[in-house]
Structure 1
Amino acid sequence: MTEQSPAPLVDSPTQWPVTATDTPFTGNKTSVRTDEIQLPDGSRVHRDYQVHPGSVAVLALDERERAVVIEQYRHPVRHKLWEIPAGLLDVPGENPLHAAQRELYEEAHVKAENWRVLTDVYTTPGGSDEAVRVFLARELSEAEGERYEVFAEEADMRIARVPVAELARGVLAGRLHNTCLALGVLAYQAALAGEGPEALRPADAPWPARPFAS
Structure 2
Amino acid sequence: MAIKDTPEEWQVTSTATPFQGKKTSVRTDDVVMPDGSVVRRDYQVHPGSVAVLALDDANRVVVLRQYRHPVRHKLWEIPAGLLDVPGENPLTAAQRELYEEAHIKASDWRVLTDVYTTPGGCDEAVRIFLARDLSEAEGERFEVSEEEADMELARVPLEELVRGVLAGELHNNCLVVGVLSLTAALAGEGVDALRPAEAPWPARPFDA
Q: Same fold (TM over 0.5)?
A: yes
Give the secondary-structure state (helix, strand or coil) at the position aligned to 2:110.
Answer: strand
Q: Are residue 189 (structure 1) and residue 179 (structure 2) matched?
A: no
1:86 corresponds to which of 60, 68, 80: 80
Structure 1 CA distance, aligned partners of 2:34 and 2:88? 35
Give the secondary-structure state (helix, strand or coil) at the position aligned to 2:160.
Answer: helix
Q: Are residue 103 (structure 1) and residue 78 (structure 2) matched?
A: no
Structure 2 CA distance, aligned partners of 1:67 and 1:193? 17
Q: Are residue 168 (structure 1) and residue 162 (structure 2) matched?
A: yes
TM-score (norm 1): 0.96
**Deviation, structure 1 residue 52:** 0.1
Structure 1 CA distance, aligned partners of 2:6 and 2:198? 22
Q: Which runs of 5+ in 2 are unaligned?
A: none
**Deviation, structure 1 residue 145:** 1.0
Give the secondary-structure state (helix, strand or coil) at the position aligned to 2:128.
Answer: strand
1:42 corresponds to which of 36, 42, 58: 36
Structure 2 CA distance, aligned partners of 1:164 and 1:55? 23
Structure 2 CA distance, aligned partners of 1:199 and 1:173? 29
**Deviation, structure 1 residue 154:** 0.2
**Deviation, structure 1 residue 69:** 0.2
Structure 1 CA distance, aligned partners of 2:189 and 2:14? 47
User: What is the match of residue 150 of structure 1?
Assistant: 144
User: What is the match of residue 68 of structure 1?
Assistant: 62
What one-letter code is carried by the residue in structure 1 that aligns with 2:23? K
User: What is the match of residue 14 of structure 1?
Assistant: 8
Q: Which runs of 5+ in 1 are unaligned?
A: 1-5
Give the secondary-structure state (helix, strand or coil) at the position aligned to 2:118.
Answer: coil
| Number of residue pairs aligned between Structure 1 and Structure 2 | 208
**Deviation, structure 1 residue 186:** 0.1
Q: How does 1:99-138 map to 2 (within 5 A)?
A: 99-138=93-132
Return structure 1 stretches of 4+ with deviation > 4 angstroms: none
User: What is the match of residue 52 of structure 1?
Assistant: 46
Structure 2 CA distance, aligned partners of 1:12 and 1:40? 17
Deviations along 1:96-125, whole A, 9 cap, x unmatched? Answer: 000000000000000000000010000000
Structure 2 CA distance, aligned partners of 1:15 and 1:43? 16
**Deviation, structure 1 residue 42:** 1.3
User: What is the match of residue 33 of structure 1?
Assistant: 27
Deviations along 1:124-162, whole A, 9 cap, x unmatched? Answer: 000000000000000000000110000000000000000
**Deviation, structure 1 residue 92:** 0.3
The percentage of counterpart residues that share the same residue type is 76
TM-score (norm 2): 0.99
